[in-house]
Amino acid sequence: MNLKNDLILRAARGESIERYPVWLMRQAGRILPEYRAVRSQLSGFKELVETPERAAEVTIQPVDLLDVDAAIIFSDILVVPEAMGLEYQMIEQKGPWFEQTIRSEEHLKFADANIDIDDRLGYVLEAIRITNKELNGRVPLIGFAGAPWTIFCYMVEGRGSKTFSESRKLLYTNSALAHELLGRITDVTIRYLKAQVKAGAHMLQLFDSWAGILGTEQYAEFGLKYISKIVDAIDEVPLTVFSKGAITSVEAIAKTNCNTVGLDWNMDVVAIRNLIGESRTLQGNLDPCALYASEKEVERQTVKMLDSFTSKRHIVNLGHGVYPDIDPEKVKTFIKTVKNYELRY
Ligand code: CP3
């Protein structure tokens, strides 16, 4: 199907663009009353994720209501560990919780890499197909997965954590087990992402939300090694690597075969552009908290970020997911400011 707006794909490939494309991480859900209305008709988050028609509906909401340049499929990174054998619950106000965790070799039976993707994750693929049919080419659809290190963190810890110390402990006490588990997650993730592309995803993003808790050397060994494998296996569509907090690894990330490097708000766009040159697109990176400011200030902060760009190779986004209590009007101001900004490159 022909895309009416392929700006984000061109920006990812470093091709010419008329203006910077813009979307928001976590745009599907949370901030929109229209999302909460759909969610309240169902038993909870998981039912929404697992019901393709409704998942497609909330995927399209930000395209209709916020006028973003891309949709991101409504799902979660935790569908992968679940497909491998670790069931999770999403507990209201608390977040994910796994009854079983992976802490020793005998637990590896709950981390099965030999799974049939269509069988276990077919509901996501169906949501992608329905979304594209309903979008009718208005904007590209982004597919995604968690990066192996972040998925490993949830499989070992069993829940969110400030330090993920059980996960980091395993790197020192049983690195062979850690590599085995990371390898299995990587295998499944490659097949899952390829299936998303086949179902219709125009672009992919890897979320490494917990990259920043590892030192540079450990991130190279337990994080980037597996990200590289994934990036090398995907040549169908542009791919973004978002390694939150991995400031000292940005150069190494840019050296993988990804198209786009996602930046969090602590990362300095100018310094990173100088470091990596023009060969990769940068995505980001307004502080999500900037959207709590007045409309005038949101505008000012957004223009300040745009003025720091010295290249056309940018996809505008926040430096992390949009916070649940942000006023959608502020999001609209952010998006409008990006769309009205005159490109200098
Ligand atoms: O970006 C989008 O809008 C698409 C959907 C999406 C969700 N989760 C839906 C969701 C995406 C891309 C994710 C990614 C995700 N999930 C990450 C990586 C990005 C990041 O924020 O760092 C992580 C770490 C998770 C795991 C997860 N899912 C947690 C820790 C939680 C609870 C806390 C929270 O963020 O709300 C979730 C739940 C979740 N995933 C919600 C949504 C809309 C909220 C559930 C609800 O509706 O109550």
Q: Tens of pLDDT along 212-270?
A: 999 999 999 999 999 999 999 999 999 999 999 999 999 999 999 999 999 999 999 99
Which amino acid is present at 270?
Answer: V
Residue 180 is predicted with a pLDDT of 98
In the chain, what percentage of residues exceed pLDDT 70? 100
Q: Does this model's pTM top 0.95?
A: yes
Catalytic residue, chosen from 6, 76, 187, 208, is 76
Q: Are 267 and 234 in contact (CB under 8 A)?
A: no
The backbone torsions φ and ψ at residue 30, rounded to the nearest 5 degrees and listed phi first, read: 60, -65
The pick from 36, 72, 76 for probing ligand 1's pocket by mutation, whose C-beta has the most ligand atoms within 8 angstroms, reads 76
Least Cα distance to 321 among 104, 77, 124 occurs for 77
Let me know if residue 64 belongs to a domain.
Answer: yes
State the CATH number of the domain containing residue 43.
3.20.20.210
The boundaries of the domain holding residue 192 are: 7-340
Residue 97 Cα to ligand 1 midpoint, Å, equals 13
pLDDT at 1 > cutoff 80: no
Residue 29 has what pLDDT? 82
What mean pLDDT, rounded, does the chain reach? 97
Region 304-311: mean pLDDT is: 97
Mutate to test the pocket of ligand 1, among 25, 26, 59, 60 (most ligand atoms within 8 A of CB): 26
Is 43 a domain residue?
yes
Position 25 scores a pLDDT of 98
Q: How far is the CA of 307 from the centre of ligand 1 (A)?
A: 30
Instruction: Specify if 345 maps to a domain.
Output: no
In a domain, 1, yes or no: no
**What is the DSSP secondary-structure string of 2-56?**
--S--HHHHHHHT---SS--B--TT-SSSS-HHHHHHHHTSSSHHHHHH-HHHHH
Which tokens go with 63?
């395209």
3-state helix, strand, coil in the chain (%, to 5): 50, 10, 35
Mean per-residue pLDDT, 52-56? 98
pLDDT tens-place string over residues 108-146: 999 999 999 999 999 999 999 999 999 999 999 999 999
In a domain? residue 2? no
In a domain, 81, yes or no: yes
Atom of ligand 1 nearest to the CA of 150: 24
Beta bridge pairs of residue 28: none
Instruction: Look at residue 345 in the predicted model and tell me its pLDDT.
Output: 86
Average pLDDT of 31-55? 96
Query: In which element (H, E) is residue 171 found?
Result: helix 165-173
- Within a domain: 63: yes
Is the pLDDT at 58 greater than 90, yes or no? Answer: yes
What total number of domains does the chain contain?
A: 1
Catalytic annotation present for 26? yes
Closest CA to 334 of 56, 76, 72, 31: 31
Q: Among 26-30, 216-220, 254-258, 316-320, which stretch is predicted with the lowest mean pLDDT?
A: 26-30
Tell me which H or E stretch contains 273.
Answer: helix 269-276
